[in-house]
Amino acid sequence: MGQLNAPGAAPLRPAAAGGFDVLVVGAGFAGSVLAERLASQLGLRVLVCDKRPHIGGNAHDRYDDAGLLVHPYGPHIFHTNSAEVFDYLSQFTEWRPYQHRVLASVDGQLLPMPINLDTVNRLYGMTLTALEMEGFLASMAEKLESVKTSEDMVVSKVGRDLYNKFFRNYTRKQWGLDPSELDASVTARVPTRCNRDDRYFTDTYQAMPRAGYTRMFERMLAHPNIKLMLNTDYREIEHLIPWRHMIYTGPIDAYFNYRHGRLPYRSLRFEHVTLPQEHFQPVGTVNFPNDYAYTRTTEFKHLTGQQHTQTSVVYEFPCDEGDPYYPVPRPQNTELYRLYQAEAERLPNVSFVGRLATYKYYNMDQVVAQALTTFKKLKAELSPEPVLVAGVAAADAAPLAAARSANDAAAALPVNGAPVRALREAPGAAFQGSSAP
């Protein structure tokens, strides 16, 4: 597939015998963005490996047996306020404008979520105006001296009744914990509006990759200096193939063999259903805070804009076992992560990037922004220094390519991160880590 990189890309560098400049663990957003930047801008040789049989991480999409474009790992809706992130991804995809809408099944009605003026008026049979809505919420809100938990965050804004109807049971299902046990940041992600805006997000840029996420990732990884190994746990190859720097996007506790204990993650189980009808529900996602074991249903045709005589719906069931999806935001988990973070900071040849590697509840655009920031930090460290011969830089002189390959073997930089392994591995430790989903 043709590459869509912007002008100014670095010239290709010949690969050293059997080796790579960078080993990237995980072919999701974090790994793919960094692989593309390091290859296209610095001309580095990059090996990307992933234990799954596909690229794209959890954002991977595919066509099912009925020919419907689906997201196997649940709905991924792109939105960002960052022009830098949007412009960067626009090199690899065209966009389909899409503004996501969510309804919540509460008291026998499908009501707009986040809570807005229409939500309150329809729920309570009132006819409030936007100005009256502010006063109504203020009268419902509980006055708290401090806001520490997710429960505090909601009741301090909308009161106990709306909290019980829309948030408490949904949060219990999603996290397996009561909101009073979770950090305030969980429910702070969901706003409350006094107008009739029923969009789930209000970001400047809201769109879906026109040909799907997987096609975008294919274009991102199409650079000739990028090699890809799927169905491969990085532990199988990290000692076999020479590399100088690692980008690690998997769970940080797995990297260190859980030496401080396992970091809690929440997982998801998905049930995909293809139905012999054009439409199933009026909006992309319907939440079920108080009924059923699943939290929500999503109909993909709303997201993709695909025209088809059938439709595909996914039911999401949160669970404890399975692939790690969400870091669980609790103070004791943050403290445990800091132990691993301190270990990671001692490794000069490994960069930890992404939701799992930094134990942060990031959206897709935030992961892309983190990867772009990491590239800027690595640029000076990993940029090849031009060797001048008769005033010509080696990177631009083809006759010097063979000389560079020969010199790689004697390079002062560590190969296969030897100092890294000494710091990471306890004597006799056996590792069972895996790449990022």
pLDDT surpassing 50 at residue 16:
no
pLDDT tens-digit profile of 115-163?
Answer: 999 999 999 999 999 999 999 999 999 999 888 899 999 999 999 999 9
pLDDT surpassing 50 at residue 409:
no
Q: How high is the pLDDT of residue 422?
A: 44
pLDDT surpassing 60 at residue 7:
no
Q: How high is the pLDDT of residue 427?
A: 37
pLDDT surpassing 80 at residue 336:
yes
Compute the C-alpha angle 402/405/409, nearest 5°.
Answer: 145
**Which is it for strands 350-352 and 326-327: parallel, antiparallel or unpaired?**
unpaired
Query: Mean pLDDT over residues 235-244, rounded?
Result: 94
- In whole angstroms, what is the distance from residue 296 CA to residue 229 CA? 34
Angle between helices 130-140 and 117-124 (to 10 degrees): 70
- In whole angstroms, what is the distance from residue 136 CA to residue 406 CA? 74
Please choose, from the candidates 118, 368, 145, the residue with its C-alpha nearest in 3D space to the C-alpha of residue 249.
368
- In whole angstroms, what is the distance from residue 382 CA to residue 22 CA? 9
How long is the chain?
Answer: 437
Q: How high is the pLDDT of residue 415?
A: 54
Residue 83: count of CB within 10 angstroms of its CB: 10
Q: How high is the pLDDT of residue 189?
A: 75
Q: How high is the pLDDT of residue 18?
A: 62
Rg (CA), the chain: 24
Lookup: tokens for 104: 């919540």
Lookup: tokens for 48: 């990307």
Q: How high is the pLDDT of residue 190?
A: 80
pLDDT tens-digit profile of 55-95?
Answer: 999 999 999 999 999 999 999 999 999 999 999 999 999 99
Buried b (16+ CB within 10 A) or exposed e, 121-136: bebeeeebeeeebeeb
- In whole angstroms, what is the distance from residue 291 CA to residue 288 CA? 6
Where is pLDDT greater, at 31 or 190? Answer: 31
Lookup: tokens for 109: 């009605």
Q: How high is the pLDDT of residue 385?
A: 58
240: Cβ contacts below 8 Å, ≥ 6 apart: none
Query: Mean pLDDT over residues 310-337, rounded?
Result: 94
- In whole angstroms, what is the distance from residue 415 CA to residue 244 CA? 5
Q: How high is the pLDDT of residue 383?
A: 79
Q: How high is the pLDDT of residue 417?
A: 57
258: Cβ contacts below 8 Å, ≥ 6 apart: none
pLDDT surpassing 60 at residue 400:
no
Q: What domains are defined for the chain? A: 20-61+212-263+328-424 (3.40.50.720), 116-188 (no CATH)
Evaluate whether 435 touches 246 at the Cβ level (below 8 Å). Answer: no
